[in-house]
Amino acid sequence: MAENETRKQFGGRTLQTGDDPFKHNAWDNVEWTEEQKLEAQSKIDKQSAAFHTRAESDSILLKGEVPFSEAWHKFYSNHDDKFFKDRNWLHTEFPELAGENFRIFEIGCGVGNTVIPVLEKNPSCFVYGCDYADSAIEILKKHPNLEKERSHVFVQDIREKMTDTIEKGSLDVIVSIFCLSAVHPTQFENTVDNLIELLKPGGVILFRDYGRFDLAQLRFKENRCVGENLYQRGDETLSYFFTEDDVEKLFCGYGGLEKLQLRTDGRMQVNRARKIKMYRAWTQGKFRKPE
């Protein structure tokens, strides 16, 4: 299940008492009821219980390290640039990307759904982008709006050091959007170490990823659960679902960064024809490296 974010502006459409929920395709800042939270937690508990009781030999999780690059290479080879949409909401949620002469780095850049909008809206910045998948980077390099004199995109496993490509302490902004969730949780801390090393004092990490109870998590079948709030799709890619506490502990408690923002972005999307309500939850944060 990919993120589904097509509106240019977020946060401006709030469902009020008496509103017809099927008047629009989506509503912002939706608060879950306690009943909804309990129902969602019940589904997750069943997924987790199935994981803990399943015999190790029956696990769908590949033994040893998940071949991230191979899985994502196959993903982009199959989908090309048709799966994810350009993130036109970026500068609304992350105005930090407009900084003059900023050096910006996106991890998990895919085919450029963040890199291209940032280059187009900030004519003074330099943008780095990396991805596990050779196929994604090859597609991005052919994008007509990739300004090669103001960008460098490359294949990289973010669990490994990147100082051979990007100078240590040189970046103003690092962007992680629906990327860290694809890393096994045992590698979160190592990955954050690699990112902080590249960030200059006062630089910021902008984070947005799947939140706990998101529709994508609740739709997974029980046999797809391969750890606590961790799932493996049929294409062998991973998906972890974060709480705000998870994110704060990782970037602030472990990484030693200063929290500027941390919230859950709740949204209700509707199928107006079928009268179905679908609840999304994304965790968003901004963290600064101490001066």
More confident residue, 196 or 4: 196
Sequence letter at residue 251 = F
- For 91, the token pair is 């500068």
Q: What distance in Å separates the CA atoms of residue 137 and residue 143, rounded to the nearest whole number? A: 10
Indicate the pLDDT class of residue 6, thresholds 50, 70 and 90: very low
Q: 105-130, pLDDT tens digit by residue?
A: 999 999 998 999 999 999 999 999 99
Residue 8 forms part of a structural domain: no
Q: Work out the number of other CB atoms within 10 angstroms of the CB of residue 149.
A: 6
Residue 141 forms part of a structural domain: yes
Enclosing domain of residue 31: 26-54+65-288
Residue 278 forms part of a structural domain: yes
Phi, psi of 208 (to 5 degrees): -150, 130
Residues 213-228: what's their mean pLDDT?
A: 92
pLDDT-above-70 percentage for the chain: 76
Task: Select from 103, 283, 150, 115 the least CA-distant residue to 209.
Answer: 283
Residues 214-227: what's their mean pLDDT?
A: 92
Residue 250 forms part of a structural domain: yes
Q: What distance in Å separates the CA atoms of residue 209 and residue 217, rounded to the nearest whole number? A: 12
- For 76, the token pair is 């982009």
Task: Select from 156, 163, 164 the least CA-distant residue to 140.
Answer: 156
Instruction: Give this prediction's pTM.
Output: 0.85
Task: Select from 196, 194, 115, 114 the least CA-distant residue to 158.
Answer: 194
Task: Select from 218, 240, 209, 245 the least CA-distant residue to 40.
Answer: 218
Query: If you count DSSP H runs as helices and E runs as strands, how many of each does the chain have, helices first?
Result: 8, 11
Q: What distance in Å separates the CA atoms of residue 254 and residue 251, rounded to the nearest whole number? A: 6
User: Could you tell me what percentage of the chain is helix, strand and coil, using 3-state DSSP and rounding each to the nearest 5?
Assistant: 35, 25, 40
Q: Concatenated DSSP letters for 39-71?
A: HHHHHHHHHHHHHHHS-GGG--SPSSS--HHHH
Residue 227 forms part of a structural domain: yes
Residue 234 forms part of a structural domain: yes
Residue 266 pLDDT: 81
Residue 208 forms part of a structural domain: yes
Query: What is the three-class DSSP state of 262?
Result: strand
Q: 161-219, pLDDT tens digit by residue?
A: 999 999 999 999 999 999 999 998 999 999 999 999 999 999 999 999 999 999 999 99
Burial code (b: 16+ CB inside 10 Å, e: under 16) for 29-65 equals: bbebeeeeeeebeeebeebbeebeeeeeeeeebeeee
The number of residues making up the chain comes to 291
**Residue 144: CATH number of its domain:** 3.40.50.150
What is the distance of C-alpha 157 from the center of its chain? 16
Task: Select from 185, 184, 174, 178 the least CA-distant residue to 209.
Answer: 178
Q: 39-86, pLDDT tens digit by residue?
A: 999 999 999 998 888 754 444 454 444 455 566 556 665 554 554 455
Residue 4 forms part of a structural domain: no
Q: How many domains does the chain have?
A: 1
Task: Select from 264, 243, 240, 253 the least CA-distant residue to 287.
Answer: 253
